[in-house]
Amino acid sequence: MKITIRRSDLDRITEHARAESPDEACGLIAGRDDADGTRIIEKVYILTNTDHTNEHFTIDPREQLAAVKDMRANGLSPLGNWHSHPETPSRPSDEDKRLANDSRASYLILSLEKEDPVLNAFHIEGEPGDRTVRKEELIITEE
Amino acid sequence: MKITVAGETKEVADGLTVQGLIELENVETPQYVTVSVNEEFIDANSFETHILSEGDEVEFLYFMGGGATDRAKEEGNAVYE
């Protein structure tokens, strides 16, 4: 699957994630599925990590609820979430896989491990303990 | 009675509980779902006893969390540089 994100949105979450580091940062993504199956991220939500640690994140459910209502009001579909790995690579940890409960979601992971940030998107499905992870083709658009 | 589920108005039976609605809606992996009714979060222990009322607005939210708890490295797969 292909998924697109605007560079401006990527820059915004990178800036936020760096500001939150060493804690993990997180949020939601919303948009639409194009006719050819490409997922278009049209809005990125920066939300609070209620865990406030460098090893875990939990999206604030009240903010999540508000974001879902905003998506609906703007005709956007929920596409998944994003979070940062301040000190580790851009790929799902065992904990990420364990808690990836929505097989329809795209999971974006922004690594700040190195000087240049790395963002990847993943599709995760299957039962807990036996998850299948597939990397999605992430396309960064200039507009 | 009429209630709103994820923004959609639905006709459901009087006396329907949150648990009943979860089953009616075939909610995937319900153990990971948080339910709000009129923007109030319902304790999972109350799903079977919380009876919905006419006009209630219900939302199902998947718990969204994770963490970099394992620190194994992988080969580079940079997309954003």
Q: Which structural domains are found in chain B, ordered by start?
A: 2-62 (3.10.20.30)
Instruction: Report the gap between the CA of B63 and the closest CA in chain A (Å).
Output: 8
Give rounded-to-5 percent helix, strand, coil for chain A: 20, 40, 35
Q: Angle at Cα A130 formed by Cα A126 and Cα A134, nearest 5°?
A: 60
* Residue numbers in A near B59 (CB within 8 A): 65, 68-69
Give rounded-to-5 percent helix, strand, coil for chain B: 15, 30, 50
Token pair listed for A64 = 């999540």
Instruction: Report the gap between the CA of B16 and the closest CA in chain A (Å).
Output: 23
Burial class (CB within 10 angstroms; exposed 0-12, middle 13-18, buried 19+) of A112: buried
Report pLDDT digits (tens) over A80-138.
999 999 999 999 999 999 889 888 999 999 999 999 999 999 999 998 788 999 999 99
| Percentage, residues of chain B above pLDDT 90 | 67
Helix (H) or strand (E) holding A141: strand A132-141
| Percentage, residues of chain B above pLDDT 70 | 84
Q: Angle at Cα A138 formed by Cα A78 and Cα A52, nearest 5°?
A: 60
Nearest-CB residue to B65 (from A58, A86, A90): A58
Report pLDDT digits (tens) over A12-24.
999 999 999 999 9
**Structure pTM?**
0.88
Domains, chain A: 2-141 (3.40.140.10)
Strands (DSSP E) contained in B1-81 are 2-5, 8-11, 33-37, 40-42, 57-62, 65-66
Q: Which pLDDT score is estimated for B67?
A: 80
With contact defined as beta carbons under 8 Å apart, do A45 and A5 qualify?
A: no
SS3 A92: coil
Where does chain A have alpha helices with state H?
Answer: 7-20, 61-73, 94-98
CA distance A81 to B17: 29
Q: Do A100 and B66 touch (CB under 8 A)?
A: yes
